[in-house]
Chains A and B, each alone.
Chain A
Amino acid sequence: MTLAVEAAEMPRRSSRALAILRALLRDPVGCSALIILTFVLLLAVLAPWIAQFDPLHQDRRAVLKAPSLLHWFGTDDIGRDVFSRVLHGTRISLFVGLMVVTFTMIVGGLIGMISGYFGGWVDTIIQRVVEALDTLPSLVLSLFIAAMLGPSVRNVVIAVTLAQIPRFVRVVRSEMLKVRGQDFIAAAQVIGASPLRIMLTHGAPNLMPTMLVLGSLAFGVAIMTEAALSFLGVGTPPPHPSLGTMLSHGTRFIGTAPWLIVFPGLMLTISVLALNLIGDALRDVLDPRHQQ
């Protein structure tokens, strides 16, 4: 019986993903956001091939050069190519964002489902912990964790993930509460399916739309937080070209070399913009209440 259910669900799920994508492409905002995001992703993924220079290489004879045909975005104060650094910085930003979203979705999603499915004291404990994390403004929490762990990409991912999880848990829990009462869950319980199995086979697919919307927004937040932490000196450590580090670096040349601030910030904004738009479009596509 369960096998049959799964078999029946398989095609439904993949066709549903396709349907979401088609709907996104039909939506003008969603379509343009997808195009921008694909462009940013391509730049990031292909960075080593697009960038003419090694982002770490110091051309010590070309220091603080304004944008030119050779150095499209200019060079920094030890002669590194800003264009290459922006591309590689975007790569790091997207990597951090992707890691954060993945971990948040898995950990936050699982905890949220457990909390919503079991209820009772499990739910109470989880809710208290989530509230504790949620009491602090997210950047303050991330800052505290990152400062404690020391600057590294891994620690940034941990710090940002921990700050993102509460929101996920809360939303997923409330969705799970709705799903729990439905017939197919009761049916699965009757035939003795384990809670984990029920959550994964019945809970997760139903929560997917919510998770997708939340995920795309969290992605944007993660990118911004990474930049903020790096700006404050507790994020991605040098010599890695993080957009936030580049911005902090550029503040010293605000009057003399504005390209050090303009380009990393622009890339940051475009990435976040694309992700936010996709989040919006997904919500419109997936949640009929939001369609106007």
Chain B
Amino acid sequence: MLTFALRRAVLGLLVLATVALLVFVAIRFVPGDIVNQQLSEAGAVTPELLEQKRAQLGLDQPIATQFGHWAKGVLVGDLGNSLWTGRPVAAQIGAALVPTMQLSILAIVLGAVLGIGAGVGAALWRGTPGDMVLRVTSTVFLAIPQLWLGLLTLTGLAAIGYFIPLPYRSFSNAPLVNLQQVIFPAVTLSLGVAAALSRLTRSAMLEVIGADFIRAARARGVSSYGIYVGHGLKNALIPVITLLGTQFGHLLSGTVIIERIFNIPGLGSLLFEAVATRDYPVLQAAVLTYGLITIIVNLLVDLSYGMVDPRVREARS
């Protein structure tokens, strides 16, 4: 099992190297560079000054040389310095990663609790109006774009006169402020996850309810709710974990938009700015970070299969 997971992780890293190369080359074909941006508002700029700045930043080198230089750095853990701030990229990525991960993890936990709860409820109350309401709600929330939901949340908050405190504070600095800032975007993000999970949980639960072993357990006099929930959830666990894995990718996509709407300085904002300013090292590092997160999440999903279901563990080793 472990070797399987490790092999996937190694493959993932190789894939990541390919992505890095593609991004590195592609971004350099986009018109304009950071020097244009830095000198955009200067009154009198001579072509020599532009060349001087480009040379300082190493942008006058052939792409292959630039890539070699960068790749060498990455291999020893040096992501280089931002062309824009001159500061180490790693520090910037680290700072941006914190709110993004906080948001994503909070959203996935909220989504899991809400979704699994709703799914179990819908299955137990199958066919009742409650089931219908839950099903309809989940279908609707799957269709609402997070973008719109975020904007509606803001509109609603403004209407009731509540204002999210600013500026952004990290949890370690000001936990109460931070929670107020993160909770609304996290809920916005979590609803989609919850909707997807509740549908899956419901159908997995229903599969179990008709099964022989449940009838057997009931015959032994075990209370039916306990059986349903216990066995049902166990049955639902593998698909739910798989879904959580894929949902994490969706969540990361969602954070790009949600961070923008709620003004959170996360990875999405960083990436967006890096594209806009042509800050190549930051952009490359941000893309790599997204890739790395995906690989880690996949790894975790793989590993958790093994923990949940011994059959998988055997089959794969």
Hey, which bits of chain A sit against chain B, CB under 8 A?
A: 128, 131-132, 134-140, 143-144, 147-148, 220, 224, 227-228, 231-232, 244, 247, 250-251, 254-255, 258, 261-262, 265, 268-270, 272-273, 276-277, 280, 290, 292
Contacts and interface: CB of A to CB of B under 8 A. Distances in A.
B158 A140 contact: no
A178 B219 CA distance: 40
Contact of A147 (B29, B144, B257, B275): B275
A139 B253 contact: yes
Top-4 shortest CB links A-B: A139-B253, A265-B148, A273-B143, A137-B252
Nearest to A268: B145
A292 B206 contact: yes
Nearest to B249: A137
A139 B256 contact: yes
A147 B278 CA distance: 11
Q: Specify which of A143, A220, A255 lies most central, judged by the most chain B CB atoms within 10 Å of its CB.
A: A143
Given A137-B290, A148-B27, A292-B206, A268 B148 contact: yes
B206 A128 contact: no
Contacts of B275: 143-144, 147
B233 interface: no
Given A128-B14, A244-B147, 20 more contacts: A134-B294, A135-B12, A135-B290, A135-B291, A136-B287, A137-B249, A143-B271, A143-B272, A144-B26, A144-B271, A148-B26, A231-B257, A247-B151, A254-B154, A261-B151, A261-B152, A262-B152, A273-B139, A273-B140, A273-B143
A224 B145 contact: yes
A227 B147 contact: yes
Given A135-B291, A228-B145, A273-B139, A265 B11 contact: no
Nearest to B29: A148
Contacts of B206: 292
B139 A277 contact: yes
Interface in B255-281: 256-257, 260-261, 268, 271-272, 275
Contacts of B57: none
Interface in B133-150: 139-140, 142-145, 147-148
B30 interface: yes
Interface of A, secondary structure class, is: helix
Interface residues of B, number: 46
B183 interface: no
Given A128-B18, A132-B19, A138 B287 contact: no
Contacts of A228: 145, 147, 253, 256-257
Interface of B, secondary structure class, is: helix
B250 interface: yes
Q: Specify which of A140, A147, A265 lies most central, judged by the most chain B CB atoms within 10 Å of its CB.
A: A140
A45 to B, nearest CB: 21
Contact of A247 (B12, B142, B148, B290): B148
B139 A276 contact: yes
Contacts of B14: 128
B143 A269 contact: yes
A254 B287 contact: no
A265 B287 contact: no
A291 to B, nearest CB: 10
A232 to B, nearest CB: 7
Nearest to B140: A273
A220 B142 CA distance: 10
B166 interface: no
10 contacts: A136-B294, A137-B252, A140-B252, A224-B147, A231-B257, A261-B152, A262-B152, A265-B151, A272-B143, A273-B143
Contacts of B26: 144, 148
A138 B253 CA distance: 6
A247 B22 CA distance: 32
B148 to A, nearest CB: 4
A265 B146 CA distance: 10
Contacts of B12: 131, 135
Contact of B291 (A136, A147, A244, A292): A136
B193 to A, nearest CB: 14
Contact of A138 (B139, B143, B203, B249): B249
A268 B287 CA distance: 29
B295 interface: yes
Given A132-B18, A254-B154, A269 B23 contact: no
B28 to A, nearest CB: 10
B147 A140 contact: no
A255 B145 contact: no
B147 A131 contact: no
B230 to A, nearest CB: 21
B145 A137 contact: no
Nearest to B271: A140
Interface in B285-306: 287, 290-291, 294-295
A144 B151 contact: no
Nearest to A129: B18
A254 B270 CA distance: 25
B39 interface: no
